[in-house]
Amino acid sequence: MKIEKHLHIKNSVEGFEHIIQDTKNLIDGLSKQQLNMPEAPDKWSILQCLKHMSIAAQVYVVNIEKVLDRNAPGRNGDVFVSNWKGDMFTRLISPNSNGEVRRPIQTFRSMNPIEMLDMDNTLNEFIQVHSRLIELIKLSESYDITRTKVATALGPMVKLRLGDAYRFLLGHAERHMVQLKRIKKAIIQ
């Protein structure tokens, strides 16, 4: 993938803004009980899914903050160029073009949410973490998002280009939006 950096930043910001708004719309009118109701035994509830999304995004927020603090903004890199690793990670996590999830992916135990969650705290955390991610994406406009690399949730040995990390995180969020819609459909019936 090759795209002008400012356009990639704009698309990433808009993507996460849509995720936040779609989440607010999705949970509007649902009770605390419905939000904590799993779609089936051994499956997550809407709040558990949102908590997982927050936990996962927070790992990247911390890692992106570190990398932006450590590196100086640079004028180079008006174009973002992905590489095979970024393409592979994004393809593995993102839903298909028809909006379906390709295959289940096992969640790291450290990113599993607890069973019962507070509705307001969970939603506020989700919005705060994803809003901070949007701020960092905007801030990275003055960095070379092709050459700047960020550690993944797999640890410091596995890094993605900063622009690929945005694609991966957006794919992760889109994947869970599919799951959230499925959960809502299951609990409302």
Kindly calculate the radius of gyration of the chain based on its CA atoms and give it in whole angstroms. Answer: 17
Question: Where does the pLDDT of residue 13 fall: very low under 50, low under 70, confident under 90, or very high at 90 and above?
Answer: very high
Domain 2-188 sits in CATH at: 1.20.120.450
Per-residue pLDDT reduced to its tens digit, 54-96: 999 999 999 999 999 887 676 667 777 787 777 777 776 677 7
b vs e for 134-162, b when ≥16 Cβ sit within 10 Å of the residue's Cβ?
bebbeebeebbbbebbbbbbeeeeebbbb
- Average per-residue pLDDT in the chain? 87
Domain boundaries, the chain: 2-188
The mean per-residue pLDDT over the stretch 115-143 comes to 92
101 dihedral zone (left: phi>0; alpha: psi -120 to 50; beta): beta
CA separation for the pair 61, 94 (Å, rounded): 19
Per-residue pLDDT reduced to its tens digit, 134-160: 999 999 998 999 999 999 888 788 899
Q: What pLDDT is attached to residue 169?
A: 96
Global pTM value = 0.84
- Kindly state the percentage of the chain with pLDDT values over 70: 86
Chain centroid offset of residue 165 CA: 9
The dihedrals phi and psi of 69, each to the nearest 5 degrees, come to -70, -35
